[in-house]
Amino acid sequence: MGQTIIEKILSAHSGQTVHAGDLVVADVDLIMGQDGTSPLAIKAFENMGGEKVFDPEKVALVIDHSAPSPNEGVSALHQLMRNFARAKGVRLYDIGEGVCHQLMPESGKVGPGSLVIGADSHTCTYGALNAFSTGVGSTDLAGAIISGKMWFKVPETIKFVCHGRLPAGVYAKDLILYLIGDVTADGATYMSAEYTGEAVDALSMDGRFTVCNMAIEMGAKAGIMRADEKTFAWLERHTNRRFTAVDPDPDAVYARVKEYDVSALPPQVARPHRVDNVCPVTEVAGTPIQQAVIGTCTNGRLEDLRIAASILAGRKIHPDVRLIVAPASRAIYLEAMRDGTLATLVEAGAAVVTPGCGPCVGTHNGVPSDGENVISTANRNFKGRMGNSNAFIYLASPATVAASALAGCIADPREFVKQVTA
Amino acid sequence: MILKGKAHKFGNDVNTDYIISGKYKFKTLDMNELARHVMEDLDPEFYSKITPGDFIVAGSNFGCGSSREQAPLAIKHAHISAVLAKSFARIFYRNAINTGLPVVECDTDQIQPGDQLELDLAGGVLRNLSRGLDIPVKPLPPVMLKILSDGGLAPHFRKYGGFNL
């Protein structure tokens, strides 16, 4: 019986041939924790009798969720992480370096065939590099830090085949919102999502990260893509390590195969308070907004900032709107600074904050007021997500967010894309 | 182990932000403090309504969203004895078992708010005492039952010095 990508990766890491439904204890290539989950993992590590980290090279801690610290409670937890990292010889990415899900790929720690666990649900992002990466909790993380292993139930896979090419003004974010809206928030629970087809092949690596990032929003354990020349070109820019692509067998068994033609897909918006509450932008266009956010592990990459800048160039955001921009990493911040992207955004009225997760998780850096509407490039619009349960969060692509920041209300970016290219 | 208490009922897709908001979880490792804010965005008074041993009863996809282990820990520290739902999100389910919070899949439509329930975890039986019903529950996978019966993954590790599944 043929194997899916995930079945092959879990086989290679457990030394046996596995298929969906099997339970395996597998070796882990990389273990990542952020500041919302690592402090509990450090406690669990001690509680489990942990003394040594199995391999410090394979463990990374990132301070990104409340960075820089907004209060002394958070500061104490950050200090706990710094002390642990120092004592155990583990690399700690401190404030300003960026969001964990940008830093792990960017630092060359992940590639095709890797098996990664991260104490953050959006760890599924690295599937864009043909890796099996999945979110876990703090105790699972601690167990892996001690043993280098974790147990997995081998997931079934849903294959999403996306035919056609995305139209102008429609991006990776629109594609993944559309798929989530179609299969719903728990449509892929306990499963993996494999994305394929011409529309996926045509995406840049930045776009592919966006699509895999949101696999968890349909309940999936992992999102994954095949590795192609774009994948390897991207890896070459970030690491000297050599990886081999893991392809599914032609007779691999899928739980379901879903086919789409995306060549006429309009820009999509997820309405409050559910990620699967998705509609075409035209249905909500005109809804007033008070805050716009571009950034997060979903859409804080260079391509995203450039798309926003292309719409905002030479214009001013609406006087009733705050626009917050958080580059996903220091490298992206620097590049956007060097090529003028940030100057364009700031001239338009954007407030640029430290690379990190702040506005998305509601810890600091842009908590909305009661009754306010926010349009964001983030991955979640749960009630209270941004720190105020009386606010309303809409999710959209960087283009839609930029267009909305100009208009003062949710706006169709295709109008602006036409003007930009005209 | 027999658990007994009354039902507090919630709907579908109760996410981890509702269970414990991000604005609290980043500040402290004091789970008793976090427990006071459990389910706050869905019911600001929820914590004060709990009698130790009570159950959270919900629809499908309970615990969707973040990987925060503070979610099952806040529920446990609020003295909820178990969560009953039609289905659970994957990471929450695993975190609950790892931290020793029983989670049970069953048809929760047969439970109304305030119903008195009795759950026999080992026997796999849920009794709705208020309605005289026996509700079948989905058995836990053996690996998870083993971790839960050891009291969670930390006690399991202490006992065996690693995975012994």
pLDDT of residue A421: 56
Interchain pair B90, A219: CB under 8 A:
yes
From the list A375, A376, A381, the residue with the least C-alpha distance to A286 is A375
What pLDDT tens digit does each residue of chain A (422 aa) get?
899 999 999 999 999 999 999 999 999 999 999 999 999 999 999 999 999 999 999 999 999 999 999 999 999 999 999 999 999 999 999 999 999 999 999 999 999 999 999 999 999 999 999 999 999 999 999 999 999 999 999 999 999 999 999 999 999 999 999 999 999 999 999 999 999 999 999 999 999 999 999 999 999 999 999 999 999 999 999 999 999 999 999 999 999 999 999 999 999 999 999 999 999 999 999 999 999 999 999 999 999 999 999 999 999 999 999 999 999 999 999 999 999 999 999 999 999 999 999 899 998 999 999 999 999 999 999 999 999 999 999 999 999 999 999 999 999 999 887 765 55
Cβ separation B163–A25 shorter than 8 A: yes
Q: Which residue of B has its CA nearest to A387?
A: B23
Asked if B22 lies within 8 A of A361 by C-beta distance, the reply is yes
Enumerate the residues of chain A whose CB falls inside 8 A of the CB of residue B87: 186, 189
Cβ A288 vs Cβ A409: under 8 Å: yes
As a whole number of Å, the end-to-end CA separation of chain B is 21
Is the Cβ pair A383, B41 closer than 8 Å? yes
* B144 part of contact set with chain A, CB < 8 Å: no
The per-residue pLDDT for B121 is 83
Contact A81, A92 (CB under 8 A): yes
- Find the mean pLDDT for residues B19-40: 90
Per-residue model confidence (pLDDT) at position A420: 59
8 Å CB contact of A121 and B91? yes
* CB proximity B116 to A under 8 Å: no
For residue A384, the model assigns a pLDDT of: 92
Nearest 10 degrees: CA dihedral of A105, A106, A107, A112? Answer: 30
CB-based contact, A181 to chain B, within 8 Å: no
Asked if B29 and A139 come within 8 Å (Cβ–Cβ), the reply is: no
Q: Is A52 on the interface with B (CB under 8 A)?
A: no
Taking CB atoms and an 8 Å limit, are B95 and A143 in contact across chains?
A: no
Give the residue on B whose Cα is nearest the Cα of A35.
B26
Residue of A nearest to B29 (CA): A40
CA–CA–CA angle B103, B104, B107 (5° rounding):
145
pLDDT value at position A419?
Answer: 67
Q: Are A371 and A391 in contact, with CB atoms under 8 Å apart?
A: yes
Mean pLDDT computed over every residue of chain B: 94
| Alpha-carbon distances of A228 from A114, A196, A206, B2, rounded to whole Å | 16, 11, 14, 54
Among B66, B95, B164, pick the best mutation site for testing chain A contact (most A Cβ within 10 A).
Answer: B66
Subunit contact A140:B95, Cβ cutoff 8 A: yes
Report pLDDT digits (tens) over B114-160: 999 999 987 788 999 999 999 999 988 888 889 988 999 999 999 99
DSSP assignments along B80-146, one per residue = --EEEES-B-HHHHHHHHHTT--EEEB-GGG--TT-EEEEETTTTEEEETTTTEEEEBPPPPHHHHH
Pinpoint the alpha helices (H) of A217-322: 229-238, 281-284, 296-299, 302-312
Give Cα separations from A301 to A106, A230, A294, A298 (angstroms): 11, 16, 10, 8
Provide, as residue numbers in chain B, all residues whose Cβ is less than 8 Å from the Cβ of A185. Answer: 13, 61, 64
Is pLDDT above 60 for B27? yes
| B152, closest residue in chain A (CA to CA) | A139
Q: What angle do CA A230, A232, A236 make, to 5 degrees?
A: 115
Q: Give me the residues of A, 358-397, that contact B with CB < 8 A.
A: 361-363, 367, 380, 382-385, 387, 389
- Give the pLDDT score at B63: 97
Q: In the prediction, which pLDDT does B123 show?
A: 78
Is the pLDDT score of B102 beyond 90? Answer: yes
Of A43, A66, A140, the CB nearest to B98: A140
A146–B157: do the CB atoms touch at under 8 Å?
yes
ipTM for the complex shown: 0.94
- The β-bridge relationship of strands A268-270 and A278-280 is antiparallel
Q: What is the pLDDT of residue B22?
A: 83
Please tell me if residue B152 touches chain A, with a CB cutoff of 8 Å.
yes
Instruction: State the pTM of this model.
Output: 0.96
| Dihedral sign for Cα atoms in the order B32, A39, A378, A225 | negative
Min CA distance, A344 vs chain B (Å)? 32
Give dist(CA A206, CA A173) in Å, integer.
Answer: 10
Please state, in angstroms and rounded to a whole number, the distance separating the CA atoms of residues B75 and B71. 6
